[in-house]
Amino acid sequence: MKMSGGVEWALHCAVVLNAAERPVPAARLAELHDVSASYLAKQLQALSRAEIIRSVQGHAGGYELARPATSITVLDVVEAVDGAQPAFVCTEIRQRGPLATPPEACDKPCPVFRAMNAADQAWRAALRAVTIADLADDVVADNGEGAFTLVRAWL
């Protein structure tokens, strides 16, 4: 039950890209966060495939947000990097073994799956309720408006 560590990088990058107005190369983002550039590239490619960020190729290229930050949820980023499939997969144990439940009695999902699925939905709902713009607002509330000004200047 461990999430890919790249999710954290991807979220921070999304917040930074929201502050920037010009495309930012992957190498610059890696330097800013002091992480492996080669590996961060992988996460950014995943975000690009999910159409969360857009890649601009060529000399002054880089990445930029593909949509307004208010319409990018944290769940979008998590699913893009870590995969959209739910954490719990029901293998229909009840239909196996000597006392297998007959398939015709399995019109409803099994109780174990229902409980796990409800928790998964709650988790996703919580992540869907927060957008990248919300995160940016929180950063301002914590560290002041100057934080992003500094980042913009450094990029």
Which single residue is written with the structure tokens 């800013």? 32
Residue number with CB closer to a second copy (56 or 116): 116
Q: Confirm or reject binding of residue 152 to a second copy (CB under 8 A).
A: no
Residues within window 66-105 making contact with DNA, judged by CB under 7 A: 82-83
Residue number with CB closer to DNA (65 or 134): 65
Q: How many CB atoms lie within 10 A of CB 20?
A: 19
Which single residue is written with the structure tokens 């010009």? 22
The CB-of-7 to DNA minimum distance in angstroms stands at 8
Give the DSSP letter string of 104-149.
GG-SSPPHHHHHHHHHHHHHHHHHHT-BHHHHHHHHHHHH-THHHH
Q: Confirm or reject binding of residue 59 to DNA (CB under 7 A).
A: yes
Q: Confirm or reject binding of residue 42 to a second copy (CB under 8 A).
A: no
Q: Which stretch binds DNA (CB under 7 A): 2-10, 111-119, 127-135, 136-144?
A: 2-10
Decide: 128 and 4 in contact? Cβ < 8 Å.
Answer: no
Q: Confirm or reject binding of residue 114 to a second copy (CB under 8 A).
A: yes
Q: Confirm or reject binding of residue 138 to a second copy (CB under 8 A).
A: yes
3-class SS string, 35-73: CCHHHHHHHHHHHHHCCCEEEECCCCCEEEECCCHHHCE
Q: Which of 6, 15, 69, 76 binds DNA (CB under 7 A)?
A: 6
Q: Which of 19, 32, 41, 56 binds a second copy (CB under 8 A)?
A: 32
The CB-of-154 to DNA minimum distance in angstroms stands at 14
- The first and second tokens of residue 87, run together, are 């954490």
